[in-house]
């Protein structure tokens, strides 16, 4: 698809993205230099302005959705992508479903601790980054959780009839995202974050085309080579839990959904900005 095609189809693609976003919302190694992360200032707050970019050339969606598990057992850490991302059975989800359905509250507590974590990835253009102005005018990958995903959903599919839907991933009729982080009771809170009024990212199509061409692949995050087989995951799970080999179980694609977990992470020196970034933190612990 050419850049001219992208511009011509910007409106028709909007309905497609809305449907995919609704489905996405209802479904539930070292530092990667491609990833952008916000930072707090001395007051414990954070602020930046970013622009979500259209899908990369040759890809359908401007976001990637990834489920993963990260927890510690007697045999070490289990940090793996979940096959439920691909709509397939996963041994951890199967074990969690069994625990959840046992009717024993202590089993439910274990299932909650091992519950899969949801992350989204999108390409962004950094408009303003007061903590790191060197990032401004550059394209990065941004990893975010349900809280920000819900902000996108609310902009694209507003709740009230007097609100105009905004395709926030559009170059011409999208909107900048004002990321506002407050520290509330020791946690990072994104409630004040909001989209600005719709406006073109630039008046120069050539400039926007150059930005679009530097976007990173999103489908790479959910490519088959990013997932271990069911059998390999089961072997690792047995080792982490120090349990005997289990018989493969069939399950629903969706893991149980216990009491909702707030999409936030303590802002301690060793923590990361969002719940979905906890995997990076756990990975560091596992390597110690």
Quick check: 276 pLDDT over 50? no
Q: What is the pLDDT of residue 24?
A: 55
Beta-strand ranges (E) seen in 74-192 are 76-81, 117-128, 139-144, 177-184, 187-189
pLDDT for 16-41, tens place per residue?
Answer: 776 666 655 554 445 789 999 999 99
Task: State what percent of residues in the chain have pLDDT above 90.
Answer: 69
Q: What is the pLDDT of residue 271?
A: 36
Q: What is the pLDDT of residue 249?
A: 56
Q: What is the extent of the structural domain holding 188?
A: 3-287
Q: What is the pLDDT of residue 147?
A: 94
DSSP secondary structure letter of residue 44? S
Q: What is the pLDDT of residue 7?
A: 82
Lowest mean pLDDT among 13-17, 84-88, 131-135: 13-17
d(CA 41, CA 146): 24
Q: Which tokens hold the place of 272? A: 């990361």
Average predicted confidence (pLDDT) for the chain: 85
Q: Which of 187, 206, 199 is nearest to 263 (CA)?
A: 187
- State how far Cα 165 lies from the chain centre: 22
Q: What is the CATH number of the domain that holds 149?
A: 3.90.198.10
User: What average pLDDT score do residues 238-263 get?
Assistant: 61
d(CA 21, CA 23): 5
pLDDT for 202-231, tens place per residue?
Answer: 999 999 999 999 999 999 999 999 999 999
User: What average pLDDT score do residues 189-206 get?
Assistant: 97
Task: State what percent of residues in the chain have pLDDT above 70.
Answer: 80
Quick check: 275 pLDDT over 90? no
DSSP secondary structure letter of residue 218? S
Q: What is the pLDDT of residue 255?
A: 59
Total number of domains in the chain: 1
pLDDT for 42-75, tens place per residue?
Answer: 888 999 999 999 999 999 999 999 999 999 999 9
Q: Model pTM?
A: 0.78
pLDDT for 93-125, tens place per residue?
Answer: 999 999 999 999 999 999 999 999 999 999 999
């Amino acid at each position: 698809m050419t850049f001219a095609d992208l511009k011509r189809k910007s409106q028709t693609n909007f309905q497609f993205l809305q449907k995919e976003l609704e489905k996405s919302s209802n479904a539930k190694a070292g530092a990667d230099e491609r990833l952008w992360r916000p930072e707090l200032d001395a007051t414990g707050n954070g602020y930046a302005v970013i622009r979500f970019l259209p899908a990369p050339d040759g890809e359908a969606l401007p976001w990637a959705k990834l489920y993963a598990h990260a927890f510690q057992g007697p045999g070490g850490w289990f940090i793996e992508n979940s096959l439920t991302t691909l709509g397939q059975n996963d041994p951890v989800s199967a074990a969690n479903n069994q625990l959840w359905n046992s009717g024993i509250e202590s089993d439910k507590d274990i299932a909650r601790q091992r519950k899969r974590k949801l992350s989204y990835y999108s390409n962004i253009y950094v408009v303003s980054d007061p903590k790191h102005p060197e990032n401004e005018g550059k394209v990065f990958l941004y990893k975010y959780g349900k809280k920000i995903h819900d902000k996108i959903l609310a902009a694209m599919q507003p709740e009230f009839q007097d609100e105009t839907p905004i395709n926030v991933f559009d170059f011409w009729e999208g909107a900048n995202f004002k990321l506002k982080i407050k520290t509330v009771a020791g946690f990072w809170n994104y409630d004040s974050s909001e989209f600005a009024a719709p406006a073109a990212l630039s008046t120069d199509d050539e400039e926007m085309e150059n930005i679009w061409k530097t976007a990173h692949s999103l489908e790479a995050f959910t490519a088959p080579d990013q997932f271990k087989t069911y059998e390999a995951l089961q072997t690792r799970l047995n080792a982490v839990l120090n349990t005997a080999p289990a018989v493969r179980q069939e399950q629903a694609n969706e893991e149980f959904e216990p009491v909702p977990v707030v999409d936030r992470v303590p802002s301690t020196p060793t923590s990361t900005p969002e719940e979905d970034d906890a995997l990076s933190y756990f990975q560091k612990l596992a390597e110690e």
